[in-house]
């Protein structure tokens, strides 16, 4: 069952979703993620397991939905006064957050879900905010920033023992900002 992208339920449905998300987050702090089960989540949230299965289909989809909710930014990207500064500030924060064990697990959950494109929408919106903020400067496309800055960060986080170094991140940003 696919997660309904962008849908923000209201009323009772929102309360149930929040209760389930809170239960997942609490259980993930208390125990290894491999030991978390739908019945545990349901008991903690005060719902039946069928409620979870009906909405998310399986545990992987629920974990991905929780991860996506955590990935949604609370505020606009920092405004440093320059395009380069804004992109650096955003990319450094993204690298720091996603390189953590919590960030790595969130990325794996989303990668395993049927909705990995939703991450591109979240990241793309943040980068578009930065690009739009600096319309007076010649700016790369959001796709170029994702391909040259975000993709290497994600690849290293998911498939390497070591995250990208900040100096290398800055070099990639410089490459992305060079518009030939």
Contact 62, 38 (CB under 8 A): yes
Name 132's Cβ contacts closer than 8 Å, sequence gap at least 6. Answer: none
Closest CA to 122 of 100, 102, 150: 150
Locate tokens 């879900």: which residue?
113
Q: Tokens 């070591």 label which residue?
A: 162
Greater model confidence, 7 or 168: 168
Query: How does pLDDT run across 105-119, given as a tens digit for each residue?
Result: 888 877 776 666 777
Kindly report the pTM of this predicted structure.
0.72
Which two tokens mark 148? 């040259």
């Amino acid at each position: 069952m696919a997660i309904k992208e962008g849908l923000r339920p209201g009323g009772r449905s929102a309360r149930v979703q929040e209760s389930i998300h809170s239960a997942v987050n609490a259980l993930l702090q208390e125990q290894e993620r491999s030991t978390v089960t739908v019945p545990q989540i349901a008991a903690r949230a005060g719902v039946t397991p069928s409620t979870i299965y009906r909405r998310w289909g399986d545990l992987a989809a629920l974990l991905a939905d929780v991860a996506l909710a955590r990935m949604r930014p609370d505020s606009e990207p920092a405004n440093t006064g320059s395009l380069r500064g804004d992109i650096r500030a955003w990319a450094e924060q993204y690298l720091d957050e996603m390189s953590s064990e919590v960030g790595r697990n969130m990325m794996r959950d989303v990668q395993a879900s049927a909705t990995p494109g939703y991450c591109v929408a979240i990241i793309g919106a943040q980068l578009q905010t930065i690009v739009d903020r600096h319309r007076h400067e010649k700016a790369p496309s959001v796709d170029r920033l994702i391909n040259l800055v975000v993709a290497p960060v994600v690849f290293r986080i998911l498939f390497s023992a070591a995250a990208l170094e900040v100096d290398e991140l800055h070099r990639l940003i410089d490459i992305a900002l060079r518009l030939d």
